[in-house]
Structure 1
Amino acid sequence: MEKLLALALAGACSTAAAQTPANNPMPDGSRDMYVGLGVASAPVYEGADERREQALPVLQAAWSNGVFISGLSAGMHLSNQPSLEFGPLLAVQRRRSEKGLSDDIGAVFSGTGHTIVRDPSPNKAGMVVNRLTGVDVQHTRLQAGGFLNYYLTPQLRVTNTLLYGSGNGRNGALWRVGLQHIGADLGPHHFVSVGVGATLANRSHNQAFFGISADEAVRSINPEYAAGGGLKDIHATARWNWSFSPSWLLVTGVQATRLRGSAADSPLTERPTNLTVSTALAYRF
């Protein structure tokens, strides 16, 4: 289960919110669960220059029938082959308003988090600039799709997730592909995993989150911009687990993301390269 949790707390990172945990065979009728509390530092929205530091609840669970909950996603492992994982997947696309992404990063249940948002930096004229002012709110959406992972070795796997339903039109699609090394013991009770990946998006998703319509251009400081589909970002992750007792675990993750293509060229993008850092203390039931 340590490997599973090492891959799950990337829920604080939008590009990994639907990442599927490794399958963990267990006796029939059993389950494995972690709950905890952590903190994350992340951009206010994808491409933002400003950052948000936020407390967040953590929940991850897996059952012997293959069902799992991991961050903002849930799914089911259907394969009995140790080298192949596949199944259906549901994930929440977080709401984006003038204040940025919604506060519930890393959580799959309602909770009150303490959020600190830094004041926007002034521009050269000394005026505070918020590029999301006047831009349509993108409402919370439930995305549906599936995952397919293949193990090249017991520790190295190729991951694929495909999700549909993002954006106000519910017609945005995201395909995430990655390569993960999910097992490296640095010593007693210490475990590290690393990975690289890319996200491809269709035009509807990129237009919803990076495009500017004619009406939005009138209401905001942004020029009209038509976003296209294709490569949206590339990213690299590293995660460290420290099991300092059979029940308590400290999990820390770092993800570097660089926007590409239409996402990087969008007038909403202030910083195409950004870093997300999260750490959490979790208790195993």
Structure 2
Amino acid sequence: MRFILPFVGIGMTCLPSIVVAQGAPPSDAPHGQVALGAGVAPEYDGASDVRLIPFVLADVRWQGISFEFRGLRGRADLASDPRFAIGPVIGARLIRSDADGPVGLLPEIDTAIEAGAFIGYRFGGDRFGQGSLQLDITAVHDVSRTHNGLLATASASYAAVRKPDTFVTVDVQTTWANADYSRTYFGISAADAVRSGLTPYRPGAGMRDVGAGLSAGHYFNRHLGVIARAGATYLIGDVADSPVTDQGGRWQPLGGVTLSYRF
């Protein structure tokens, strides 16, 4: 396990509404929560080894717009509605370099910048949001020409506990990826097969993974608290049958613990 400076993105629904968590501060003043800590993530897409990462979460609401950050992925909710959400998304996918074994003999993959949009809706719940079900669909496309791929993720999260100072949320998700993404991260050309000793492989478009997670947080006073996240995705379809995955693993864990500050 090694330490790496870049952040990784996590599920966008693992923090409670900042308004619920704090009450209702003046709408013209920025308010929200920022959490910093440490976590673990796969070394690259399809790896079995994990890397130590900085774990960064933030929710800030200002002028009726909610800005949400999860590592290197962020989004802005432009809808001034307690249930409906819609807006742009931008994020990054980490490089693949210095991998161990035959995968390390494949071409390195640069950081990819992915941009797109999301739409979501929250059903049910009490005045704090407890008992609510949040559904989201997010689609992003590589704008950096690293993999030129398109990924679409459907997720659902359930607010099992949602109090002013405490929350527990469980979530599930699944992601579809097109052939450009799959072939960049999991494909092996004839030339790369000779270099690495792996079997040539050309995956197509299809479902990439299914996953689940648990997020929990508690504030000890008005400002300070802790937030933790534990989850994993399981690779399926063509990417799961890749020799890259055979050298690594289908399970892709992601988790961390943070110290949180709200304002």
Q: 1:80 aligns to what SS in structure 2?
A: coil
Partner of 1:171: 148
Question: Cα distance 1:40–1:61, how it changes in 2: closer, same or farther (>3 A)?
Answer: same
Distance in 1 of aligned mates of 2:76 and 2:237: 33
Which residue number in structure 1 is paired with residue 119 of structure 2?
148
Please tell me whether the aligned partners of residues 35 and 227 of structure 2 are also in contact (alpha carbons under 8 angstroms).
no
Closer, same or farther: CA 245–188 of 1 in aligned 2, 3 Å: same
Report the alpha carbon displacement of residue 21 of structure 1 after superposing the two structures with TM.
Answer: 6.5
How do 1:11-160 residues align onto structure 2 when only pairs under 5 Å count? 16=10, 27-71=26-70, 72-99=72-99, 130-154=101-125, 155-160=132-137
Q: Which runs of 5+ in 2 are unaligned?
A: 1-5, 126-131
**CA displacement at 1:79 relative to structure 2:** 2.0
Distance across 2 between alignment mates of 1:210 and 1:83: 38
In 1: Cα distance, 2:144 partner to 2:176 partner: 15
Give how far 1:189 is off: 3.7
Distance of 1:279 and 1:132 partners within structure 2: 30
Give runs of ≥4 in structure 1 deviating > 6 Å.
Answer: 20-23
2:157 maps to what in 1? 180
Q: Secondary structure at the match of 2:239?
A: helix
Secondary structure at 2:101's aligned position in 1? coil
Q: Which residue of 1 aligns with 2:3?
A: none
Between the aligned partners of 1:13 and 1:135, the Cα distance in structure 2 is: 22
Instruction: Give the count of matched residue pairs.
Output: 244
Structure 1 residue identity aligned to 2:206:
G
Q: How far apart in 2 are the matches of 1:33 and 1:131? A: 45
Q: In the aligned structure 1, how far is the partner of 2:17 from the partner of 2:218?
A: 20
**In the TM superposition, what whole-angstrom CA distance separates every residue of 1:20-70 from its partner, at most 9, and x where no partner exists?**
967656643221243443111222223222222344455543323315141
Q: 1:81 to 1:189 in 2, by over 3 A?
A: closer
Tell me the amino acid that sits aligned with residue 261 of structure 1: G
**Most deviating of 270-279 and 230-239:** 270-279
User: Which is further off, 193-202 or 73-82?
Assistant: 73-82
The gaps in structure 1 that reach 5 residues or longer are: 1-10, 100-128
- Report if the CA contact (8 A) 1:23-1:77 is conserved: no
1:196 corresponds to? 172
- Checking the alignment, whether the CA contact within 8 Å between 1:21 and 1:70 is kept in structure 2 is no
The answer on whether the counterparts of 1:12 and 1:276 sit within 8 Å (CA) in structure 2 is: no
Match of 1:283, as an amino acid?
A: Y
Question: CA offsets per residue over residues 98-155 of structure 1, 9 Å max, x none?
Answer: 34xxxxxxxxxxxxxxxxxxxxxxxxxxxxx523212122211221110010122231
The normalised TM-score by structure 1 is 0.76
Query: Residues 64 and 80 of structure 2 are in contact (CA less than 8 Å); yes or no, is this contact kept in structure 1?
Result: no
Cα 1:89–1:144, aligned 2, differ >3 Å: closer, same or farther?
same
Distance 1:161 1:229 in 2: 17
Verify: 1:282 aligned to 2:260, yes or no: yes
Structure 2 Cα separation of the partners of residues 61 and 271 of structure 1: 36
| Residue aligned with 2:114, SS | strand
